[in-house]
Every structure is written in structure tokens, then in C-alpha cells.
Amino acid sequence: PSGSGKSSLVKGILDLVPIKGTVTYRGIELKKIAKETAYVEQKESIDRNFPITVYQCVLMGTYPSLKKFIRPGSKERGSALHAIEQVGLSKYTNRQIGELSGGQFQRVLIARALAQNPTLLFMDEPFEGIDIHNEEIVVEILKGMAKQGKTIMIIHHGLEKVFQYFDEIIMLNQHVIAHGSVEETFTLDHFLKTFGVILPALFQKDDLKTI
């Protein structure tokens, strides 16, 4: 639910807010693989009045892979253009980000992360404002990344899409209620503990599975 600490959890993992302890990924401290980690934050937290084009914004996703004082080359430019094409924004390549709709700008942020080609990707409400057609396109891209061994963590409110989109989930409300495979975790009992109410449309009375 809103205010349950989802964004704070991700920001804590990424060391954007103070936390106690150390975060590791496959036995490696996350700070040591920062260049391989991408973060798609909520679009409301970004100043869209900054004079930058879609292409320039997405190209910034390639910067972590560059050495100091090295400008993006043909490889990086190609990665940026490919990422823009993936999210269906090729015709907006040279458009100022301030001229885009909210949904279009959200896709720009996703493209910027794709251009980085991260091993670990965090996304905070990435489908907010995106129409269902483009949402499904982005989901297929993310599923392809997952098949390549990438790890993707998404903050998402669309409960009706849980089984379609995710392999594992964390149910959170100020603390972790449950974590595991969708089949074992997204249950009526865990839902009630997390949200405090039941949405009949999500569950069948007999087997408690999502419909």
C-alpha cells in the first residue's frame, strides 16, 4: 500500500538514504558494482524543464561504463538509439524532454536504464502513466533481460498483473510481510496482513488463487 516503505527500501538498498548494515548482491557488496546497477526513479522527482533532448537523456545511461574524461563513442550512441527504439520513441529522439507527455517521459527514463545494460535494475513505479500497449512492450523487454541473467526489482501497484509480470514478490507494509515465489506468497492471508482488506475480484473462494 501507499506509504508502506517501498521506495525507502529501494533507496536504502542503493545507499541513497542512510541504513544500517551492508547490502550484497551474489556475495558482492553493492557499492562495488555500482556501474552495473541502474535505477529508474519516479518521474515526478526529475526536473523536466532542464534543456535536454530525449537522445541526450538516454545517452546519459551509458556514462557509468566510460572512463573519466572519455566522451561517448559510436558504441554508446548506438546503445542509446537502440534503447529509444525499444521503448517506441524513435520519432521523439531530438525532442526536448519538457515537451513530452508524462507517459512518454517515463519511457525515456526506462530507455536510459536500458542503455546502461545493467546487471541489476531497480524501478520505482515504472509503468505509471504508460498505456497498456507500451507497458506490455516494456515488460517483454524486461523479461528478456531476466532470461539473460539480469536481476530486476520493481515497485508496482498493479495487483492484477502480479502473476503475469513477476517471478518473486515482496509484500511490504512498514516491514516484510512475506517474500518468495508469486504462487506461494500472493495469498489471501498475506494480502489481508499487508492491506488490511480483501479485494474479492483478486481471489477465488475455493483455492485463493488470483483470477
pLDDT, tens digit, 9 for 90 and up, residues 35-52: 899 999 887 667 788 899
Instruction: Report if residue 165 sits inside a domain.
Output: no
Instruction: Report if residue 175 sits inside a domain.
Output: no
Q: Which residues contact 39 (CB under 8 A, 6 or more apart)?
A: 10, 14, 113, 121, 122, 123, 124
Instruction: Report if residue 99 sits inside a domain.
Output: yes
Report pLDDT digits (tens) over 52-94.
999 999 999 999 888 887 888 999 999 999 999 999 999 999 9
Instruction: Report if residue 8 sits inside a domain.
Output: no
Range of the domain at 129: 42-157
Instruction: Report if residue 117 sits inside a domain.
Output: yes
Query: What is the torsional sign of CA 127, 130, 135, 137?
Result: negative
Question: What is the tally of structural domains in the chain?
Answer: 1
Q: Where residue 60 sits, what CATH number does that domain have?
A: 3.40.50.300
Tell me the average pLDDT across 97-117: 92
Instruction: Report if residue 18 sits inside a domain.
Output: no
On average, the pLDDT of the chain sits at: 87
Confidence band for 211, pLDDT divided at 50, 70 and 90: very low
Instruction: Report if residue 91 sits inside a domain.
Output: yes
Instruction: Report if residue 108 sits inside a domain.
Output: yes
Confidence band for 200, pLDDT divided at 50, 70 and 90: low
